[in-house]
Amino acid sequence: MKKGRILVVDDNKGIRAALELLLPPYFAEVELIPSPSGLLLKLEDFKPDVVLLDMNFTSSVNNGNEGLYWTKEIKQLSPSTEVVLFTAYADIALAVEGMRRGAFDFITKPWDNEKLISTLSSARDKAMKASSKEEVRPDEEQMYWGGSDKMAAIRHTLLKIAPTDASVLITGENGTGKDLLAKEVHEHSLRKGEPFVAVDAGAIPDTLFESELFGHVKGAFTDAHADHVGFFQQAEGGTLFLDEVGNIPLHLQAKLLRVLQNRCITRVGDSKSIPIDIRLICATNTNLEKSIAEGRFREDLYYRINTVHFDLPPLRERKNDILPLAERFISAFNSKYHRSVEGISPEAAARLKENTWGGNIRELRNAVEKAVILADGKLLEAGDFELKDNLPETSSGTLEQAEEKTIRDAMERYGGNLTKVAQALNISRPTLYKKINKYNI
């Protein structure tokens, strides 16, 4: 029975040609590439159940170390993918070492067709059984990479660094998908399957900062009626994502830095140090280098959280991704609201691409959600979208536009520091958050 996907990686053109004829009756999809260059991206795009991997690719080098290296890389990136090593008789000892490192089995060249198919089929069945147990996230909860050069570069770097424990800093405007990128790092790391704990660090009141992040013991303060496990311990073994890290007040940054340096926490009201094992990812829409120059962010903390830096481009720099993203959101909201929208009219598509999208992907998502709910036909028309560029100049609209501009100006003036923005506008932080969401700032 034809099922599953297999990827063949072999530099011998004749071997690839033979396997291109042999494998299709047994596998639903077969792809063949001549070298491991681009292998990690191919794993992402093709998602093979089995990789049949040659052990040598560099001319005049026959020690099999390339096969061992790429076996490790494949298993780190996609643990459920099974690797079958393709080797000459002289490499059998190395092939056995490859199995110790996670390979499913090995096949010697020249091969026996029956033995090859039997081994590859067993590897496929094992991989498909394992992958069926993995949690699958809906499309709209996964990163959409699109076709821009900037996103391709980010993706390439992510695949290289995700299996490490390097700290990651993600910057970009609000609504660009910093939280989704953080999840992508986690999903491609060796900590996949362990907790992913997301925290809006800028929203934690100063007085509760240590308690929320590091925990407290019963009786530590008036309302501490029981022990509380902080976010660091909740993320033990997994990933801690600190969003809006640029909004943490300066005096609390020192406490965070000390924990990151010592890799242990002390709960409020306790004297015992507790070791922590987490991978840290931080995100912010503020310019931290400018904040450092202005004395609002610690330089030593910046370097501690910034081993790898991703800067997500705004949607206005990804014009060709607007319509594919909109189609993805249509599919999601069709399912959520039991609608049957089939697409976007040409006029509406043109308006979407022309729109400035100050709120980026989040604003586009909200616009599509409303359009799907309100649409009368099978296609979304331009009038179904409440785009800012298309809103009538009513007095209410003018007031709202003025309020939005005031908030945006304050956000820029204070570098996205929500505490200072709220103080400058004389409103509470919860009210500021509601208005930020309202205007997709």
For the chain, the domains span 5-131, 149-311, 317-390, 395-438
| Amino acid code (one letter) for 188 | H
Round to the nearest angstrom and report the end-to-end CA distance of the chain.
53
Q: For 50-64, 102-116, 244-258, which range has the lowest pLDDT when averaged over its residues?
A: 50-64
- What is the 8-class DSSP label of residue 53? E
- What is the 8-class DSSP label of residue 160? H
Name the CATH topology of 395-438.
Arc Repressor Mutant, subunit A (1.10.10)
Question: Is the bond preceding residue 34 a cis peptide, omega within 30 degrees?
Answer: no
Q: Kindly state the average pLDDT of the residues 187-200.
A: 92
Tokens linked to 92 = 């059998």
Q: How far apart are CA 28 and CA 219, in angstroms?
A: 62
Strand partners, 51: 7, 83
Q: Give the DSSP H or E segment for 279.
A: strand 279-284
Pick the CATH number of 5-131 from 1.10.579.10, 3.40.50.620, 3.40.50.2300, 1.10.3300.10: 3.40.50.2300
Tokens linked to 125 = 């069945």
Does 317-390 match 5-131 at the fold level?
A: no
pLDDT of residue 324: 95
Strand partners, 343: 379
3-state secondary structure of 62: coil
- pLDDT, tens digit, 9 for 90 and up, residues 358-401: 999 999 999 999 999 888 889 999 989 987 654 444 444 456 77
The answer to whether 290 touches 250, Cβ cutoff 8 Å, is no
Q: How many CB atoms lie within 10 A of CB 382?
A: 17
Question: Pick from 263, 270, 162, 255: which is nearest to 215 by CA?
Answer: 270
Q: Is the pLDDT of residue 62 over 60?
A: no
Name the CATH topology of 149-311.
Rossmann fold (3.40.50)
What's the chain's Rg over C-alpha atoms?
Answer: 26
- pLDDT, tens digit, 9 for 90 and up, residues 194-233: 999 999 998 898 999 999 999 999 988 888 888 889 999 9
- What is the 8-class DSSP label of residue 197? E
Q: Kindly state the average pLDDT of the residues 281-294.
A: 95
pLDDT of residue 431: 78
The answer to whether 98 touches 106, Cβ cutoff 8 Å, is yes
Strand partners, 9: 33, 53
- What is the 8-class DSSP label of residue 228? B
Q: Is the pLDDT of residue 137 over 60?
A: no
| Helix residue ranges, H only, 81-112 | 92-100
Phi and psi based region of residue 275 (left: phi greater than 0; alpha: psi -120 to 50; beta: remaining): beta
The answer to whether 249 touches 298, Cβ cutoff 8 Å, is no
Q: How far apart are CA 48 and CA 31, in angstroms?
A: 9
Q: How far apart are CA 141 and CA 325, in angstroms?
A: 12
Pick the CATH number of 317-390 from 3.30.450.20, 1.10.8.60, 3.30.160.100, 3.40.930.10: 1.10.8.60
Average pLDDT, the chain: 88
Q: How far apart are CA 94 and CA 247, in angstroms?
A: 52
Buried-exposed string 142-162: b where 16+ CB fall within 10 A, e elsewhere: ebbebeeeebeebbeebbebb
Q: How far is CA 403 from CA 262, 394, 409, in A?
A: 45, 14, 10
Q: For 38-42, 137-141, 424-428, which range has the lowest pLDDT when averaged over its residues?
A: 137-141
Percent of residues, the chain, with pLDDT higher than 90: 60
Q: Is the pLDDT of residue 156 over 90?
A: yes
Tokens linked to 114 = 């029956």
